[in-house]
């Protein structure tokens, strides 16, 4: 670790962080080793950071002293209910599906205890995807991805964008390579331009580790940059707001304003700002005794006389004007 830190590495993403010691069922010995690593970092590399692939912030952040812990897609947990949940016959039941059959309480019941137990010690890291998870585009179109990513980027903690998700890189079922199995389709090359191999390499396509998207409509950075309303430019706009507004950064200032079982929208506060999310394709209206001016919007939303109205597939950030 010292070698890479001395070479300029900013930190480490620790794969399978919970699996360091055999027969360590309560992870006490594993946590002791990671605490020792953190002590070394604090003393000699105070700017370095570690993020764990654990998805248990009490163990990862509080007991093992990681700076951050990924909120992973585990069947039945809050992340799964937001983005991946389906019925036995494959119908989408996730909150961010435009079908509008999700339940935000499944997320909050899982997330809030994790957030509350770790918020003073470190950060939960939401992910758009990772090398083990099918890309969001498996089942979500660009409009759904825009709203999902805007949510992820306005939550507390330290979000991670998996390469290519910002342009809508597609997930394809591919022949397994080097033990990738069904994860292989999430590991295809980045697509930069409309040139040879979509800008990834000038090699013959047969020599690529994995193929790029062969469709005429394959997303590329070059094409996305030309469209003001593209997924890429939407992500950039939300990231710019996050950098400009301290209340939308990593700080633990999350408060639920409106969340009801099987209902839309979801409204939450971040300091002087509140965010309303309606991923469903239905128009929704709720009583909301807040006053604010919109600073960013996807779709259309109005806040007047104690009523919030959101058209289908809408996302809005308001700055509070209440004293």
Give DSSP secondary structure letters for 254-316.
EEEEE--TT-S-EEEEETTEEEEEE-SSS-EEEE----EEEEEEES-EEEETTEEEE-SSEEE
If you write DSSP's letter for every residue of 91-110 in order, what string do you get? -B--TTSTT----HHHHHHH
- The total of other beta-carbon atoms located within 10 Å of residue 108's CB is 18
Domains of the chain, by residue range, sit at 2-254, 255-323
| pLDDT less than 50: residues of the chain | none
| 157 vs 68: CA distance, rounded Å | 8
The first and second tokens of residue 18, run together, are 């919970």
**What gap in Å lies between CA 238 and CA 249, rounded to an integer?**
11
Helix axis angle for 231-244 and 142-152, nearest 10°, is 10
Domain 2-254: give its CATH architecture. Answer: Alpha-Beta Barrel (3.20)
CA separation for the pair 258, 256 (Å, rounded): 6
Token match 């509070």: residue? 320
Nearest C-alpha neighbor of 129 from the set 179, 166, 81, 102: 166
Give the Cβ contact number of residue 216 at 10 Å: 5
Distance, in Å, from the CA atom of 177 to the CA atom of 169, rounded to the nearest integer, reads 19
CA torsion angle for 306, 311, 314, 318 (degrees, to 10)?
-20
Q: Enter the CATH code of domain 255-323.
A: 2.60.40.1180
119 φ, ψ (degrees, to nearest 5):
-65, -25
CA of 248: how far to CAs of 191, 193, 217, 270, 276, in Å? 30, 32, 34, 6, 14
Cα–Cα nearest to 259, from 238, 277, 235, 240 = 277
Q: What is the pTM of this model?
A: 0.96
Query: Is the peptide bond preceding residue 265 cis, with omega within 30 degrees of 0?
Result: yes
The answer to whether 106 and 270 are in contact (CB under 8 A) is no
Sequence-separated (6 or more) residues with CB below 8 Å from residue 102: 81, 82, 85, 93, 94, 95, 96, 279
Residues 301 and 316: beta-carbon distance below 8 Å: yes
What is residue 323's predicted lDDT score, i.e. its pLDDT? 72
């Amino acid at each position: 670790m010292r070698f890479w830190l001395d070479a300029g590495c900013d930190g480490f993403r620790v794969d399978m962080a919970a699996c360091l010691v055999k027969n360590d069922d309560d992870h006490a010995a594993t946590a002791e080793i990671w605490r020792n690593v953190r002590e070394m970092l604090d003393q000699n590399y105070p700017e370095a950071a570690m993020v764990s692939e654990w998805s248990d912030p009490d163990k990862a952040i509080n007991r093992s002293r990681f700076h951050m812990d990924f909120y992973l897609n585990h069947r039945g947990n809050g992340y799964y209910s937001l983005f991946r949940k389906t019925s036995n016959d494959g119908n989408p039941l996730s909150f961010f599906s435009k079908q509008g059959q999700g339940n935000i309480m499944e997320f909050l019941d899982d997330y809030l205890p994790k957030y509350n137990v770790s918020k003073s010690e470190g950060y939960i890291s939401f992910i758009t995807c990772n090398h083990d998870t099918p890309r969001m585009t498996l089942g979500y179109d660009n409009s759904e991805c825009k709203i999902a990513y805007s949510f992820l980027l306005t939550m507390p903690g330290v979000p991670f964008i998996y390469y290519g998700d910002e342009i809508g890189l597609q997930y394809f079922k591919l022949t397994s390579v080097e033990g990738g199995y069904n994860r292989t389709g999430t590991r295809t090359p980045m697509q930069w331009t409309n040139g040879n191999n979509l800008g990834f390499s000038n090699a013959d396509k047969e020599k690529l580790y994995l193929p790029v998207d062969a469709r005429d409509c394959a997303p590329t950075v070059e094409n996305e940059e030309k469209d003001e309303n593209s997924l890429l430019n939407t992500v950039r706009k939300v990231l710019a707001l996050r950098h400009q507004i301290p209340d939308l950064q990593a700080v633990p200032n999350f408060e639920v304003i409106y969340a009801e079982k099987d209902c839309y929208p979801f409204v939450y506060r971040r300091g002087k700002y509140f965010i309303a999310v309606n991923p469903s394709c239905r128009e929704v209206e709720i009583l909301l005794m807040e006053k604010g001016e919109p600073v960013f919007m996807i779709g259309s939303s109005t806040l007047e006389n104690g009523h919030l109205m959101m058209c289908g597939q809408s996302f809005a950030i308001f700055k509070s004007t209440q004293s």
